Amino acid sequence: MRSVFIGVVFALSIVVLSSPASAADCEVVHSWTSPEEVAGEAVLAEAFNAGGDHWEGVRVDANELQTQVIRQIASGNAPCAALLSPATIATLAASGLLRDLRDLASQGSWANFLEASALDGCTVDGHILCVPVSLRTEQWMWLNRDVYQQAGMNVPQSWTEFVASVDSVRASGKLPLAVAEGWPVGNLLDGIEVAVAGTANYLSVYRGRDTNVAGGPDYRDVWTQFDVARRLVEPGQRIARWDEAVDLVVQGQAAANVTGDWALARFEAAGKTPGVDFDCLPGLGQNPALHVVAETLAFPVSQDPEIVHAQEALAAVLVRDDVQREFNARRGTLPARLGGGDGADVCVQRGVALIQNGATYPSRDELLDGDSLRQIRDLETQFFADTNMSIDEAQARLVDIIQNAPPP
């Protein structure tokens, strides 16, 4: 990777040129691949194209996206815009490879209507280097109301109530919890951890490196609930894909699923209404708080005046109220623009209210080093898959990881 960046700096020391197919083309590199994300992209493309330029979307696997963009810039073939992570933005910013949008932000009064933390996340050393297009949140439990009505029960309003409902749901012939293989398992356990431990304990462990909390009774409760969750899903009941797991809840074959806000679009695409056909519980209803990640588009530096003009036009489109509303409605995500949840469904309104009231927290992904994070994810994956691993053993291993993690 170091050699790549040396190449980037060398290429930019000569001149930075984009190579679109025509002057009005704007190549936008992203990882939006699900049907809901594709529908959202179409909103951006239509609004942008209406101004006379042309959106040229390039889909890249999420695991390869950041490296792909870096390589394009290094080869002198920088895209017009790209969906970049905070880490990549910071790295490229250090070499002056991203366009500073302060003038556009000032002229458009972005600070008056974009969510403050999202705009702050785009700001590096006073330079505004990206445009937030949506806010993504993961800590939601989705429940099918009809499943509970058929079982003669009220819909659970917390993780604790959900656990208490499991036997009745099973007796009705439904799956209590739909879980997909891979990253959705981590998503489930992350949601349970914050719901059960509470935000203060969570931050004490991952920000404060407090082994007393990690090894104490509150975190024993966390591992106990992890144990409950893993016993709800027989090995043969694992689903291959996250969308298939959500669809089991949408169709009434399963009672619940724990995943991100992207599930909302699948319910609504099936004609389901929140508060009528299904419920959405941020923080699993137990601890209504969310970890928020802004999705952002950044613009590599270019000396081509036509690309510069296209970048300015695209930035203006991305922050428009109508575009933010429709783009996020198609995907089930929260708008980065204040007031973007007005008139939206109850799930979006709940998420927006939590964010505006400050009920958010940094993820451990932002608080721990990469090696410690890998160890914790490996531990959780092993624990979920192996019911022979005890709660005591798992908790002791977490304490050891936290104890040996580098200081923040």
What order do you get walking across the sheet with 140-144 strand by strand?
Answer: 175-177, 254-259, 140-144, 278-282
Contact 354, 360 (CB under 8 A): yes
The Cα–Cα gap between 85 and 101 comes to 17
Rg (CA), the chain: 22
The Cα–Cα gap between 75 and 127 comes to 25
Q: What residues of the chain score a pLDDT lower than 70?
A: 1-24, 235, 340-343
Task: Measure CA 316 to chain center.
Answer: 24
Task: For domain 2-136+292-356, give the CATH superfamily.
Answer: Periplasmic binding protein-like II (3.40.190.10)
The residue extents of the domains of the chain are 2-136+292-356, 140-290+364-404
pLDDT tens digit string along 20-38? 444 569 999 999 998 889 9
Instruction: Assign domain 140-290+364-404 one CATH number from 1.10.3720.10, 3.40.50.920, 3.40.50.2300, 3.40.190.10.
Output: 3.40.190.10
* Closest-CA residue to 158 (of 256, 275, 84, 58): 256
Question: Is there a common fold for 2-136+292-356 and 140-290+364-404?
Answer: yes
Contact 190, 368 (CB under 8 A): no
Backbone angles phi, psi at 260, to 5 degrees: -80, 180
Burial bucket for residue 232 (CB in 10 Å: 0-12, 13-18, 19+): buried
Strand residue runs (E) in 54-210: 54-59, 81-83, 123-124, 127-128, 131-137, 140-144, 175-177
Map tokens 């997909």 to a residue.
Answer: 180
